[in-house]
Amino acid sequence: METMNGKVAMVTGAAAGIGLACAEGFAKAGATVILVDINEPKEQAEKLNSEGYKAVSYRCDVSDTQAVKTMIDWIVTTYGRLDAAHNNAGIQTPQRPMAEITDEEFDRTVAVDLKGVWNCMRYEILQMLKQGGGAIVNTSSQGGVTGFPGQAAYIACKHAVIGLTRTAAIDYAAKGIRINAICPGVIRTPMAEELMRRNPDLEKELVRDIPAGRLGKPEEIANAVLWLCSEQASFVDGHALLVDGAFSIH
């Protein structure tokens, strides 16, 4: 992997799971990384600093448009630029059939999983236009290209994230801003553990359907996100990259 020395990267949902692995990946590649989460990832950033990397934590609810604008302004005032952004924060809806999902559950899922990506991209793009380029990766899901029982609101958002990614990629391709989506399969994170806790047979059922025969690791998503943000992916734009052990083509 090429170095990201001198680059400034931000990751949302960086307190745990995929976001934390991606933040660690950016830091280890040499970037200064801003770990953003609704639960401020102070200890996670401090741990990276104690290992000699450059990291800072920032508390932000990505569904809050004004808070996201303030955060991007702070990043630019503090570090001068924003080279790479991974818009990854997400929540699950309680698992039940579509008609039983409440308006409140639907609205909160859309607010975080779709509007949160929208909010972040908007202000990231405005900054990247000023500085002449950058790379953005949005976290969708294998559920962005398939259905999943009992997850209608979540799956609708993950499909929408791909649509948003593709359209924004076209809008800004000529301005040097590349925008891609990552579509993780089932990755062993606190979110997936919670789903499996609620349904103890789920892990066995999922693994049976994953041709790779196992769940993915957060680092395996981080490797793909870092590549998408690197110069090695300089002509990859508007792509939705499945990293799922062949689950969705099975």
Ligand X SMILES: NC(=O)c1ccc[n+]([C@@H]2O[C@H](COP(=O)([O-])OP(=O)(O)OC[C@H]3O[C@@H](n4cnc5c(N)ncnc54)[C@H](O)[C@@H]3O)[C@@H](O)[C@H]2O)c1
The only residue of 7, 8, 17, 169 in contact with ligand X, by rule CB under 6 A: 17
Quote the least distance from Cβ 16 to ligand X, whole Å: 4
The only residue of 132, 133, 149, 190 in contact with ligand X, by rule CB under 6 A: 190
Catalytic residues: 154
* Contact between 220 and ligand X per CB under 6 A: no
The only residue of 10, 11, 18, 145 in contact with ligand X, by rule CB under 6 A: 18
* Contact between 88 and ligand X per CB under 6 A: yes
Which region, judged by CB under 6 A, interacts with ligand X, from 119-127, 162-170, 181-189, 228-236? Answer: 181-189
* Contact between 39 and ligand X per CB under 6 A: yes
Three-class SS of the chain? CCCCCCCEEEEECCCCHHHHHHHHHHHHCCCEEEEEECCCCHHHHHHHHHCCCEEEEEECCCCCHHHHHHHHHHHHHHHCCCCEEEECCCCCCCCCCHHHCCHHHHHHHHHHHCHHHHHHHHHHHHHHHHHCCEEEEEECCHHHCCCCCCCHHHHHHHHHHHHHHHHHHHHHHHHCEEEEEEEECCECCHHHHHHHHHCCCHHHHHHHHCCCCCCECHHHHHHHHHHHHCHHHCCCCCCEEEECCCHHHC
* Contact between 167 and ligand X per CB under 6 A: no
Task: Please report, as ranges, the residues that interact with ligand X according to CB under 6 A.
Answer: 12-13, 15-19, 37-39, 60-63, 88-91, 112, 116, 139, 141, 184, 186-187, 189-192
